[in-house]
A and B are shown apart, each in its own frame.
Chain A
Amino acid sequence: MSRHTVRPPFQPKHIADFPCGTCDEAGHLVETLSSWRTSTPEVNLQLCTGCLRCYLLCPEGMIVKKNGKVAIEFDFCKGCGICAHECRSDAIRMIARRE
């Protein structure tokens, strides 16, 4: 499965480090975007049945298949709570954001 890549922060030292004009490599993101998040989903693997409903419904594509169940990544998770809301096994709960 292809996952997003986030390029490390652009820290140019020399003018030649800049692309010529506004034309640069593609296929990556330049920053993560999770500062919106005020609560974070947590999966209870004992309750998870691996139905993949959350995996399909996550608007940010942050849920991945893992060992027949799921795992959640957090680079772009906004804490929308859709996964917790839609889980038919109540395996996901939203907890107050932790640093």
Chain B
Amino acid sequence: MIEVRWHGRGGQGAFTAARLLGAAAALFENRHALAFPSFGPERRGAPVLGFTKIDDHKITDRSAVTECDYVVVLDETLMSPKIAVGLRAGGKLIVNAASPAPYRDWAGAGDLLALDATSLALRIIGRPIANTAMLGALIAWTGLVRLESALRGIEEEMPQRLAAKNVEVLRQAFAIAGENS
């Protein structure tokens, strides 16, 4: 089983990304997934977490996720020395940032990777909502689900008026990340 922890602020779509990843694996790859947010009241701007669990077998364990294989940070202002707590050895810390340099020592037991997802999102969607770009980077760097599955996930799960642009963002993020493995 692979576990992904997403960090974002309320309103940035961290949980949407967690859900899209789960949907991609479950609906289009015949695997199993659970996706859930940090539970409790939420407010725009407040730090929130999202979680995705993916496995080939049905996932029945719903206890709190304490360790994970990948940590994805949608908002650079959330970065701190503790950001990678629970990241398993050999895992990846993936940050929405122009440069990974400031965070070299914060990846804990994992590898650090960065993508300037906000600029990409601004260019294509016109808004700094980086979640689908980060999803593209995640799957490019981990192979967690196929590109095709993630694209179909967007088309299935996002409202029509948003889907086309997000498909493009994810495609480009996937390509850019692929060049920088």
Do residues B80 and A35 form an inter-chain contact, with CB atoms below 8 A? no
Contacts of B45 in A (CB 8 A): 36, 78
> Number of contacts between A and B (CB, 8 Å)?
14
- The smallest beta-carbon distance between A95 and chain B, in angstroms, is 12
**When the two chains form the complex, which single residue of A37, A38, A99 contacts B80, counting CB atoms closer than 8 Å?**
A99
Task: Supply 14 A–B pairs (Cβ within 8 Å), ascending by A.
Answer: A35-B46, A35-B47, A36-B9, A36-B45, A36-B46, A37-B77, A38-B9, A38-B75, A38-B77, A78-B45, A96-B77, A97-B77, A99-B79, A99-B80
Q: Which residues of the partner chain B approach A99 to less than 8 Å between Cβ atoms?
A: 79-80
Q: Which residue of A lies closest to B10 (CB)?
A: A36
Query: Considering only CB atoms and an 8 Å cut-off, how many residues of chain B contact the other chain?
Result: 8
The interface size bin for chain A is under 10
A96 to B79, CA, bound (A): 13
Smallest distance from the beta carbon of B117 to chain A beta carbons, Å? Answer: 16
CB distance from B76 to the nearest CB of A (A): 9
